Amino acid sequence: MNPTFAPLFAPLTFRSGVQLHNRLVMAPMTNFSSQPDGQVTDAEVAYYVRRSSGVGLVITACANVTANGQGFPGEIGAERDALIPSLQRLAQGIQAQGSKAVLQIFHGGRQCPPELVGGDVVSASAVPSDRPGSVVPRELSGAEVQEIVTAFGEATRRAIEAGYDGVEIHGANGYLIQQFFSPHSNRRTDRWGGDVQGRMAFPLAVVDAVQEAVRVHARRPFLVGYRFSPEEPETPGISMPDTLALLDALAAQELDYLHVSLMDYRSLPHTGDTSRPRLDTLLAHLDSRTPLIGVGSVWSADDALAVLGAGAALVALGRSLIVEPDWAQKVAGGQEAALRRELSADEQAQLVVPDPLWQAILKTPGWFPVVERA
């Protein structure tokens, strides 16, 4: 190994006691590959197994905690006990490769396709997304909000029973938890809305429910993380000052980690201090109170080292780990110059990618570096 990259392979022990053998994380990425009833498929398990042997932590694609929270076709299900054996298959496949397995849990809210939720699309308020073709969601009643909070706790119990090493609460990317925190989607005047403190009531209630499930049901170290998006493009939308207030509240919860959602770790904010990258601002504000996972266009070993150098405790690999399943092994073996940076349409079997995800990659220009090979 090039000693320059040794920090990527330093061990880490979380607050909960869960131990990682390095600082590399497989980022949670939707793969659209579970069965219609939420059970994982053989192709999906194989995809994770292929990428689990080098990284220290694997965070799965999001799993819905209620039947009306399904945000994609082919999504992992965690909303009923009958799915525990399915969840267990995936956890065991990941762990057999030497990595820790974390189940990402979420509710899609107003981003749920109507056909997947019986036409009943719900959110914090009856405000549609700015995306073209978005439906007007139904505002959740106070009782329904509490039911969803409870559902996050129940999904955590299922993850514990299925043998996972932790859960990640998905409060990013415009889904329901973020919808409650956002001034764009949350216009409520009850206990679940209002100013920035009021809008974080639902995210914090979810954290409480998840942590309570861990206290009651976990018999070994079990971690809890939280993913967030620092800004929104909508007006009004989440600003960096809003997010810094949320980070203060989350840091007080003594979570194992926070996980920022960024397309590029070097990106600059459009609110607050716009002169330095979002990642730097977040890390400076957290001031080591809670470990942060950095992410976003991390392709090279130098990119990963830069994320840790900024102060992140871990670095997540997303698209780069799909293109190069042996990313960690190559860097550990001093072959960082040989990391793949692109793929071609005839490499699906070689890369062990399920059909639904492969088709999405090929049909979404600019998402992945797809090249024609002679």
Which CATH number covers residue 250? 3.20.20.70
Which SS3 state, helix, strand or coil, does residue 114 take?
A: helix
Is the pLDDT assigned to residue 45 strictly greater than 70?
A: yes
Helix crossing, 240-251 with 278-286: angle to 10°?
A: 30
Range of the domain at 234: 3-371
Token duo for residue 249: 């509240």
Q: What pLDDT sits at residue 347? A: 97
Q: How far apart are CA 56 and CA 23, in angstroms?
A: 6
8 Å CB contact between 43 and 355: yes
Encoded tokens for 343: 């793929």
Does position 374 have pLDDT exceeding 90, yes or no? no
Query: Looking at the 3D structure of the chain, how many domains does it have?
Result: 1
3-state secondary structure of 166: strand
Name the more confident of 51 and 372: 51
- What pLDDT, on the 0 to 100 scale, is given for residue 31? 96
The pTM of this model reads: 0.98
Distance CA 28, CA 23 (A): 15
Q: Tell me: the pLDDT tens digits for 253-285?
A: 999 999 999 999 999 999 999 999 999 999 999
- pLDDT value at residue 373: 73
Sign of the torsion formed by the C-alpha atoms of 76, 78, 80 and 85 = positive
Q: What is the pLDDT of residues 107-120, one digit of tens each?
A: 999 999 999 999 99
pLDDT of residue 216: 98
Angle subtended at Cα 339 by Cα 60 and Cα 353, rounded to the nearest 5 degrees: 40
pLDDT tens string 116-152: 999 999 999 999 999 888 999 999 999 999 999 999 9
Active site residues per annotation: 175
Which helix (DSSP H) or strand (DSSP E) does residue 64 occupy? strand 57-64
* pLDDT tens column, 73-117: 999 999 999 999 999 999 999 999 999 999 999 999 999 999 999
The percent of residues in the chain predicted with pLDDT above 70, rounded, is 100
The proportion of the chain whose per-residue pLDDT surpasses 90, expressed as a percent, equals 98
DSSP output for 201-229: HHHHHHHHHHHHHHHHH-SS--EEEEEE-
